Structure 1
Amino acid sequence: MTPAEILDGLFPAGHAVTRDGDLLSGRGTLRGGGGVHVVGAVGHAPIGIDEAIRLSAAILGIVQGGDDAPILFLADTASQRMSRRDELLGLNEYLAHLAKSLQLAQAHGHRTVGLLYGGSAAGAFIATGLACGTLVALPGARPEVMDLPSMARVTKLPIEVLEAKAKATPVFAPGVDNLVRIGGIAAVWDPAEDLAGRLEALLAGPEAGDERAAAGAARGGRPKAAVIADEIVAAARA
């Protein structure tokens, strides 16, 4: 699906979302009349310092606007832009600033929902979809924290070994199903269903905090993270 088709499905009451290069910004209207801020990184383009600071500025502008409307982050990106210019100018700090902007919006009462419909990888994935309070996906999305060839170069393990580990351990593996199993993706929305209804139901429900580790344990993809996190919190409070 294209961004325009997705937005039409999410906001049948209408939207005013514009595209500038590979970035989106604007606002959509729910069927019940409520508004949703929309930002996005689309076109499967990498996120460099220029894109990261523009996205951060859009999110901070929403926070400064004073309402508490939700923010929908539409995502189809490559990884971060690994150019010499971007790295020398501090790309890691720009991506961290983007992630913190989303966290700030959440702290100011904006529900943040990431919708992954294409690819996303590495730092770009962490600073966009995974930085939202809730991440959902459409079938065919291609998330990966690190692709297996890159992981092979970093770990010095043969690609065949990593492929075998990916089949047994979803933490190693790219793809929607594996991200669902470890709790990173809350749900996969079928575009043949009522996308507007799914979004409205999500926004109408209670915001229970970060449940990704608990979801990963319940789904069998990340059995220890929630237990260890709880033990650390208990030890810190003792």
Structure 2
Amino acid sequence: MDWQTLATQLFPGGHDITERDNFLSGSAQVDAQAVDVIGTTGHVPIGIEIALAQAQAILKTVQTNPGRPILILVDTQGQRLRHRDEMLGINSYMAHLGKCVDLARRKGHTVIGLVYDQALSGGFITSGLIASACFALPQATIRVMGLPAMARITKVPEERLSELARDNPVFAPGPENYLRMGGLHGIWEHDLAGELARALRECGAEDERMALGHARGGRMLAHPVAQAVRTGSDVRPA
């Protein structure tokens, strides 16, 4: 789905979102409440320019519109792999973007991520994946690392990783697997405007990802380990 069609379905009352060099920004109304919108399109890789543009937009909202919700529309092939970006310290730019999202959440802004096309690697981790809540459309492509790349890095044969992916969502791409792991709070299929309004109403301040992954059977140790660290108790096998 292209971003214009998506925006029309999310905001039937209209919006002022614009695109510049694959960077989206603007605002709209959801249930008579103003929402600031940032995002990417065209499967654009996140280089230093877009990372800074997104960070700047988030900080502007924090400064000028205290408490206003932020919607991040995600369509990216991940971190831009260029020598120039690496030499300029793309990791620091990405970390800065992630810190801005975290700052907005700490300042009381509800930040909703919506993967409407592609969400790969660092471009997803520092945006939608660390929002207050993240959702996806059913046709979205989501993965932090593809199985061929994972095989090269881990030295585990791709055939073996494919076998593991059948039962373990950690190894498998796709919105359904990220839903099982708790990385996604839900998959939106119909009435996108209603789903967004509901997400803004129901989103709390606490990060529920580990608990959701445990409850859905996709990530069984993160939540009990975190609870054990918090309370000083032992981790008991499920």
**TM bucket, shorter chain:** over 0.9
User: For 2:43, what is the secondary structure of its paired residue?
Assistant: strand
Aligned partners of 2:212, 2:4: CA distance in 1, in Å?
Answer: 31
Can you give the 5+ residue segments of structure 2 that lack an aligned partner in the other structure?
Answer: 234-238
In the TM superposition, 1:140-219 aligns within 5 A as: 140-190=139-189, 193-219=190-216
Aligned partners of 2:166, 2:154: CA distance in 1, in Å?
Answer: 18
Give per-residue Cα distances to partners, 1:128-179, cap 9 Å, x unaligned.
Answer: 1102110000011111011111101101111101111111211111111110
Aligned partners of 1:139, 1:158: CA distance in 2, in Å?
Answer: 29
Give per-residue Cα distances to partners, 1:57-101, cap 9 Å, x unaligned.
Answer: 111111111331100000110010011111111111111110110
Deviation at 1:235, TM superposition (A): 2.4
Deviation at 1:104, TM superposition (A): 0.6
In the TM superposition, 1:10-25 aligns within 5 A as: 10-25=10-25
Report the counterpart of residue 44 of structure 2 in structure 1: 45
In the TM superposition, 1:15-164 aligns within 5 A as: 15-30=15-30, 32-164=31-163
Aligned partners of 1:88, 1:235: CA distance in 2, in Å?
Answer: 42
Deviation at 1:206, TM superposition (A): 4.8
Report the counterpart of residue 5 of structure 2 in structure 1: 5
Aligned partners of 1:123, 1:44: CA distance in 2, in Å?
Answer: 13
| Cα RMSD, aligned residues only | 1.2
Which one is further off, 44-53 or 60-69? 60-69
TM-score normalised to the size of structure 1?
0.95
Q: Which runs of 4+ in 1 moved over 6 A?
A: none
In the TM superposition, 1:217-232 aligns within 5 A as: 217-232=214-229
Amino acid at match of 2:18: T
